[in-house]
């Protein structure tokens, strides 16, 4: 069997195992490939991202294990895993990709915020990624809304310093401050309140 077909089948098996909630099976498939067994495979060459599936189902260790097996993360996966070096490489070679939403409608900045990925967010800000980019999904939130959702004052401060506008509203018509109050995001609320004074 062709090496790339075998690897694709392995990734499809990993994705199915994650979807089925069988993390031990996903781990066994990764281990059966051996060190660097997924080398050279990236999400743009397969239907689903095993890394994003692992992250969205609450398995960040599995996501990192997939990367360690040689899987090449894309810009969204790099943001969600706080892989600042990977993001820096993309930013240098293709800065126009920094604000593009993935299939779920999230830009790299949103994913960095949801993951408390401070280093990744710093790289995105350094390369002038738009701190007011709207999610291309039904949430229609800005990265500042995402930072409020995880109640991370440092993320809020970084976004505000990069030019995030706290007056932008999400699909429900809430500003980040209104969302912070609704979610009782005390740390984020404190930072946002300090700029209103």
Whether the model pTM is above 0.85: yes
Q: What CA–CA distance (Å, rounded) separates 179 from 188?
A: 10
Q: 115 in helix, strand or coil?
A: coil
Give me the domain span that covers residue 59.
1-72
Residues in the chain: 197
- Any domain includes 49: yes
138 by Cβ neighbours in 10 Å (0-12 / 13-18 / 19+) ranks as exposed
Q: Give the residue among 102, 180, 178 at the shortest CA–CA distance from 137.
A: 102
**pLDDT at residue 117 above 70?**
yes
Q: Is 109 within 8 Å of 121 (Cβ atoms)?
A: yes
- Tell me what pLDDT residue 46 has: 45
> How large a percentage of the chain has pLDDT more than 70?
91
Residue 37 has pLDDT above 50, yes or no: yes
Task: Identify whether 5 is part of a domain.
Answer: yes
Quote the pLDDT of residue 1. Answer: 47
Residue 95 placed within a domain? no
Distance CA 95, CA 155 (A): 21
Three-class DSSP category at 180? helix
- Quick check: is 104 in a domain? no
| 27 within some domain | yes
Is 34 within a domain?
Answer: yes
70-111 tens-digit pLDDT: 888 889 999 999 999 999 998 899 888 899 999 889 999 999
User: What is the total count of domains within the chain?
Assistant: 1
Does residue 26 fall inside a structural domain? yes
Report yes or no on 1 lying in a domain: yes
Least confident segment among 66-70, 115-119, 125-129: 66-70
User: By three-state DSSP, how is residue 59 classified?
Assistant: coil
| List of residues 6+ apart from 132 with CB closer than 8 A | 142, 143, 144, 163, 164, 165, 168
Question: Nearest Cα to 82, choosing from 59, 60, 56, 104?
Answer: 60
Average pLDDT, the chain: 90
């Amino acid at each position: 069997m062709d090496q790339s077909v075998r690897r694709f089948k392995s990734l499809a098996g990993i994705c199915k195992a994650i979807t089925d909630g069988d993390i031990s099976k996903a781990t066994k498939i990764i281990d059966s490939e051996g060190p660097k067994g997924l080398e050279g495979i990236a999400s743009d060459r397969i239907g689903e991202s095993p890394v994003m599936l692992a992250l969205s189902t609450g398995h960040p260790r599995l996501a990192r294990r997939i990367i360690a097996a040689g899987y090449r993360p894309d810009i969204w996966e790099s943001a969600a895993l706080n892989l600042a070096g990977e993001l820096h490489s993309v930013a240098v070679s293709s800065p126009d990709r920094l604000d593009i939403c993935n299939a779920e409608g999230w830009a790299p900045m949103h994913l960095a915020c949801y993951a408390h990925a401070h280093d990744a967010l710093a790289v995105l800000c350094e390369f002038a990624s738009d701190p007011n980019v709207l999610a291309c999904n039904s949430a229609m939130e800005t990265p500042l809304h995402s930072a409020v959702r995880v109640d991370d004052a440092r993320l809020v401060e970084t976004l505000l310093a990069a030019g995030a506008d706290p007056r932008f509203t999400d699909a429900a018509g809430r500003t980040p401050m209104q969302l912070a109050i609704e979610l009782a995001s005390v740390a984020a609320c404190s930072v946002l309140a300090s700029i209103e004074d």
